[in-house]
Structure 1
Amino acid sequence: MTNTGEELKSTEMIAVKVEKFTKAAQISLRFMAMAVTVAAASIVVSSKETVVVYGVTVDAKYSYSPSYKFFAAANLIACSFSAISLLLFYIMGKISKSINYFFFFLHDVVVMTLLMAGCSAATAMGYVGKYGNSHAGWMPICEYFDKYCSRITIAVTLSYIAFFLYFFLTLLSASKSRTSTTQLSK
């Protein structure tokens, strides 16, 4: 009988440690996602370069491209939602209910999808900027706007990191929602 009591106590201790680890991972990943998305947005918004091409002064700014505007907006929205989710996680974290984790799962899926859309738009535009499109008659511009293209590449890379952080958050939230529901039904 003592063995069963010790096993039960050991299992409860493991469950508490897993719960603490999950909460710490959620907080860390949300904070990192917030930092990375604000960095990506600020880099793309501040990216501009002026060069002289064949005697003509030409500017490159993020605001000239609807894709980059969407990319910047998607990252700013993701940053805002990350900050809100941190606040809600702190408030709701004291109440461990599976419905809370389900709402975090929904939130994380939406933000992850938004980030993927922004990354896709910026990646497509970056590809055209780097390689052009001979079928449409678009010339590559990155050979002229090297600094601008490098900054955009860094911003897109940071945003992909944020996407993967939200992918892991989605997995954590889904797992926690599922395990909490399973524990409630027992």
Structure 2
Amino acid sequence: MDASRKSSDGTAINILDSSKSTKAATEAAQHGGGGGRKGVAIFDFILRLCAIAPALAASATMGTTAETLPFFTPLFQFQAQYNDIPTFTFFVITNAIVAGYLFLSLPFSIVCIVRPHALGLRLLLLILDTVMMAFTAAAASAAAAIVYLAHSGNPSANWAPICQQFNNFCKSVSGAVVGSFITAVLLVFLVLLSAVALRKH
């Protein structure tokens, strides 16, 4: 509350209560911190939009990859498909799940923009982003190992490279792996953003 006193000439002088000024300073500090968290939340939303595209493209590219060598008869053909290798099947499923998760997480990211002090929701996104990042990195790394063998083979194990014959197949799966690694990197940034937002609390 405000206190007042009169000077010697009768003029009233208002004295601002110190508790009110302290409260105003605290509200101003909170408003400034909320603005910083809101900026982080907006950047988080943009990154999620950007991460959906490479994850979906990686899953779709790998899932539609197939090549048949043209110089064999219809009764005797060599064909390469993604589902011939369980690692590539895991890759397709994982990236599809990650793309779906990123899409479903967009409304939660919007809530974090509107309510930058929502600590529980930010913590939930941090945990789920970390899980998805681990799955994406595992799928991309496993697929990258298979792609390397397809390109280079392994003389010690008598595994011949197949990319000399299935050139288009190898190009497609290599591009899908690159897209998955891009998604993993973007998820790393999402985890870091969530950690920064939580640290500001």
Q: TM-score range by the shorter chain?
A: 0.7 to 0.9
- Unmatched 5+ stretches in structure 1: 181-186
Over the matched positions of the two proteins, sequence identity in percent amounts to 28
Residue 143 of structure 1: SS of its match in structure 2?
A: coil
Change (3 A) 1:10 1:92: closer
Instruction: Give 2:136's match in structure 1, choosing from 108, 112, 115.
Output: 115
Whether 1:19 and 2:40 are equivalent positions in the alignment is: no
Counterpart code for 2:96: L
- Unmatched 5+ stretches in structure 2: 1-21
Change (3 A) 1:9 1:178: closer
Counterpart code for 2:88: Y
Counterpart code for 1:43: T
Whether 1:86 and 2:100 are equivalent positions in the alignment is: no
Q: In structure 1, what is the equivalent of residue 193 of structure 2?
A: 172
Counterpart code for 2:53: A
Q: For 1:19 and 1:90, how far apart are their aligned partners in 2? A: 13
Change (3 A) 1:85 1:159: same
Change (3 A) 1:91 1:19: closer
Q: How many residues align?
A: 178
Counterpart code for 2:175: I
Aligned partners of 1:108 and 1:170 also within 8 Å: yes
Relative contact order, higher structure (CA 8 A, sep 6+): 1
Aligned partners of 2:38 and 2:114 also within 8 Å: no
Q: For 1:152 and 1:28, how far apart are their aligned partners in 2? A: 27
Residue 162 of structure 2: SS of its match in structure 1?
A: coil
Question: Which one has the bigger helix percentage?
Answer: 1
Deviation at 1:90, TM superposition (A): 2.5
Q: Which ranges of 4 or more aligned residues in structure 1 deviate by more than 3 Å? A: 7-17, 52-56, 91-95
Deviation at 1:137, TM superposition (A): 1.4
Q: In structure 1, what is the equivalent of residue 65 of structure 2?
A: 47
Compute the TM-score of the two structures, normalised by the length of structure 1. 0.85
Q: In structure 1, what is the equivalent of residue 119 of structure 2?
A: 98
Whether 1:37 and 2:37 are equivalent positions in the alignment is: no
Q: Give the root-mean-square deviation of aligned CA atoms.
A: 2.6
